Structure 1
Amino acid sequence: MIEATLCFPLREWTPDERTGDDRERTDEVLLIEKRRGLGEGWYNGPGGKLENGETPRECAVRETREEVGLAVRNLEKAGELTFTLDGDRHTFCHVYRTRSFDGEPTPSDEARPEWVPIDEVPYDRMWEDDRLWLPAVLEGDTVAGEFRFEGGEPLDEADFADHDLERDVSFEDRS
């Protein structure tokens, strides 16, 4: 089983009156378009697999830095997601969010970053399960869920079959 992380940096975007931008103030989330590996071509948050001896928080910080050049801190645990494939546990994912970071996101070989207004998240270009749990995370809630896929490897080509999802979960005693 793979243990992994996702990190969702958030910011408040304020229009610049000097440039004549008349959009309203809004919250944005940093998403990446995956350029390779599992989920290539799809959008998600920065993240990846834990390395030996690494905590989930350390992994989220490292992966976000490696994938988009952002130095995140003050991560808040927002979710724990289990993904099964044909009845076997495939991936356990720790989900974090933060409003604390330094730097500007930059593309890498692995990811193309993009700030997206929360009400415009491209769920049609994401994993099918994301539309079930990610809105809660972006609203400030916590989630725990199991998402079942069928159809064999690779996971990103399997069919989404079913899920269980719980909101308002406490992660105080967890990593």
Structure 2
Amino acid sequence: MSETHHLYEHTSAKDVQWESLSFTERAVLCFVFEGERVLLIHKKRGLGKGKINAPGGRIEPGETALEAAVRETQEEVGLIPIQPQECARLHFLFTDGYSLHGTVFRAFSYKGTLRETEEATPLWSPVSSIPYDRMWEDDKLWIPHLLEGRYVEGFFIFDGDTMLDAHVVTGTLLPPPR
């Protein structure tokens, strides 16, 4: 294996100088809630293909994270989240050198018609039985805090699909949905 492949293999997520990283990409996720259900997708292509996640994707040049969350949700499942609220920041390092900064939003109302696209198959999941075993390994560490209404900051090191280390910090309770 190359030296690059082992870049972060023996590093603790707490030891990485995250604030000085120049992330390879910036992306968003948007969790849309309806009562006791949350909208998830089965990803058909790209990073996380085959996994369950929330709608989301890369932030385009000149676009804010909020604009990207609304656009990506509409493109992937046909829904436009109304008044999405930032609820988490996620930081990922992969042993191959790739890095990703994610901003997570939540919305409690939407307009539009839910549909399947080439990118994703949408599914409503009961909040009480989110399929963590079909998701990225880090999701089970931070999503429960999001469901409690807490702001979350997560730091994760991965080797491919395998999480090597994680550090999750929870913040204050977020304002209730309007």
Q: TM-score, normalised by structure 2?
A: 0.80
After superposition, give the CA deviation of every residue in 1:99-144 in whole Å (9 maximum; x if it has no partner). 0211231100000001110011000000000000011112211100
Q: Which runs of 5+ in 1 are unaligned?
A: 13-26, 151-156
Question: How much has 1:145 moved relative to structure 2?
Answer: 1.2
Q: Which residue of 1 aligns with 2:57?
A: 48
After TM superposition, list the pairs within 5 Å mapping 1:49-88 onto structure 2. 49-86=58-95, 88=97
Q: Which residue of 2 aligns with 1:104?
A: 113
Instruction: Tell me whether 53-62 or 96-105 shows the greater mean CA deviation.
Output: 96-105
Tell me, in whole angstroms, the C-alpha distance in 1 between the residues paired with 2:82 and 2:67.
10
Q: Which residue of 2 aligns with 1:22?
A: none
Q: Which residue of 1 aligns with 2:11?
A: none
Question: How much has 1:86 moved relative to structure 2?
Answer: 2.0
Tell me, in whole angstroms, the C-alpha distance in 2 between the residues paired with 1:140 and 1:169.
8
Aligned 8 A contact 2:42 2:122 in 1: yes
Percent identity, please.
42
2:149 to 140, 143, 163: 140
Aligned 8 A contact 1:82 1:89 in 2: no
Q: Which runs of 4+ in 1 moved over 6 A?
A: none
Q: Which residue of 2 aligns with 1:3?
A: 26
Q: State yes or no: 1:92 paired with 2:101.
A: yes
Q: Which runs of 5+ in 2 are unaligned?
A: 1-23
Cα 1:169–1:163, aligned 2, differ >3 Å: closer, same or farther?
Answer: farther
Q: State yes or no: 1:166 paired with 2:169.
A: yes
Read off the aligned partner of 1:77 and give its amino acid letter: E
Aligned 8 A contact 2:149 2:173 in 1: no
Aligned 8 A contact 1:84 1:148 in 2: yes
SS at match of 2:62: coil
Tell me, in whole angstroms, the C-alpha distance in 1 between the residues paired with 2:161 and 2:42.
20
Question: How much has 1:73 moved relative to structure 2?
Answer: 1.8
Q: TM-score, normalised by structure 1?
A: 0.82
Question: How much has 1:169 moved relative to structure 2?
Answer: 5.1
RMSD: 1.7
Q: Which residue of 2 aligns with 1:117?
A: 126
Question: How much has 1:167 moved relative to structure 2?
Answer: 0.4
